[in-house]
């Protein structure tokens, strides 16, 4: 069996499950992959996404909450949201691209199953 270093594994995880970055002027906003969030934040993100499907959901508020949750820092979330300036179409596109890029593959069945 091949030997791997933890650094190799970390690099592979970053390549596969890395953050989505968005250039905002001369700065960059990092939106972290759900697998790189804490269990509590992943759960909160799932709750937000489920509420987005509700008929009377405030989409702008929910997407704003999601951006604040997944941004690497509060300052990055503030910067991105300030640039979006309440444009729901742009906010929806940011979130749509994030969700598309953050698709988590389903677990493969165990060979012992």
**Is residue 56, in this structure, part of any structural domain at all?**
yes
Domain count, the chain: 1
- Is residue 1 in a domain? no
- pTM for the full model? 0.82
Let me know if residue 112 belongs to a domain.
Answer: no
Whole domain around residue 67: which residue ranges? 6-101
Tell me the C-alpha distance between 6 and 75, whole Å.
Answer: 31
Please indicate, yes or no, if residue 46 is contained in any of the structural domains. yes
Classify the C-alpha dihedral 83-86-88-91 as positive or negative: positive
Strand pairing partners for 71? 31
13 lies in some domain: yes
Per-residue pLDDT of the chain (113 residues; tens, 9 = 90+): 889 999 999 999 888 888 999 999 999 999 999 999 999 999 999 999 999 999 999 999 999 999 999 999 999 999 999 999 999 999 999 999 998 887 655 544 545 54
State phi, psi for 27 to the nearest 5 degrees: -110, 170
């Amino acid at each position: 069996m091949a030997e791997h270093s933890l650094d190799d594994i970390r690099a592979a995880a970053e390549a596969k499950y890395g953050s989505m970055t968005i250039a905002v002027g001369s700065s960059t906003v990092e939106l972290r992959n759900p697998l790189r969030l804490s269990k509590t934040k992943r759960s909160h993100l799932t709750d937000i996404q489920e509420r987005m499907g509700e008929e009377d959901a405030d989409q702008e508020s929910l997407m704003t909450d999601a951006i604040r949750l997944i941004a690497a820092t509060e300052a990055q979330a503030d910067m991105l949201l300030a640039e979006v300036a309440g444009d729901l179409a742009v906010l929806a596109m940011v979130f749509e691209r994030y969700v598309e890029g953050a698709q988590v593959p389903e677990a493969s069945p165990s060979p012992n199953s």
